[in-house]
Amino acid sequence: MTIVSCFQSFPNIAWWASVMKADHVILDKAEHFQKMSYRNRYRISGANNPVLLTVPLVSGRNQRTAMKDVRIFNDSAWQTQHWRTLVSVYNRTPYFGHYADSLKPLFETEFDLLVDFNRMSIHWVRQQLGGRFTTEETDVFVKEYPAEIDDNRNLDEGNDPMLFPKYYQVFEDRIGFVPNLSILDLLFSEGPGAKRLLNS
């Protein structure tokens, strides 16, 4: 099965549940940037509410350009802030220590383009999950793909708790179970068991 999808930063659980079923994934870097989407942000757990970590962009979120040309605003220490937040939130989870050493370099490498950071986050997660799908990137925007290709570029964010099997979350006792967070939340909580939960 082939799926076409958007470039996201550490995509959410619904995104991964979709692509893990695929043999081949087409990542669309020709589509126009969509503000208020997960193209440049990812949602993690928090002590009082979920936390939205955002990759700052040159010209802000009001982009009128293809994803492949969206530039990151690196004058702020956003990577340091993201990493410190991840450590603060997840340091006590069962598997954070297992993944930290291989994940940290993504937050120590400067990326000029948003797709470069997103690509590295997707490839890192695929490696941790043992995903067997191949990927390609398209430079030409295609509005509609043939019926045999699943198009999940506008995948519903899927925040209905009934759609997701529950798993341990670090702040569930305070804020309840929060579905469809970034895949990082599932990995840090369930480790190798994340793949089984995605397949369910």
For the segment 175-194, what is each residue's pLDDT rounded down to a tens digit? Answer: 999 999 999 999 999 999 99
Tens of pLDDT along 11-69? 999 999 989 999 999 999 999 888 888 899 999 999 999 999 999 999 866 667 899 99
Instruction: Pick the more confident residue, 183 or 157.
Output: 183
Q: What is the DSSP letter of 147?
A: T
- Number of structural domains (the chain) is 1
Rounded Cα–Cα distance for residues 163 and 167 (Å)? 13
Q: What is the mean pLDDT of residues 89-111?
A: 97
Average pLDDT, whole number, for the chain?
91
Q: What is the DSSP letter of 33?
A: P
Q: How confident is the model at residue 164 (pLDDT cuts 50, 70, 90)?
A: confident
Q: What residues contact 51, with CB distance under 8 A and at least 6 apart?
A: 43, 44, 45, 85, 89
CB 85 within 8 A of CB 44: yes
Percent of the chain with pLDDT over 90: 72
Range of the domain at 186: 2-199
- pLDDT for the residue numbered 80: 97
Q: What is the pTM of this model?
A: 0.93
CB 120 within 8 A of CB 111: yes
Phi/psi for 51 (5° steps) reads -110, 135
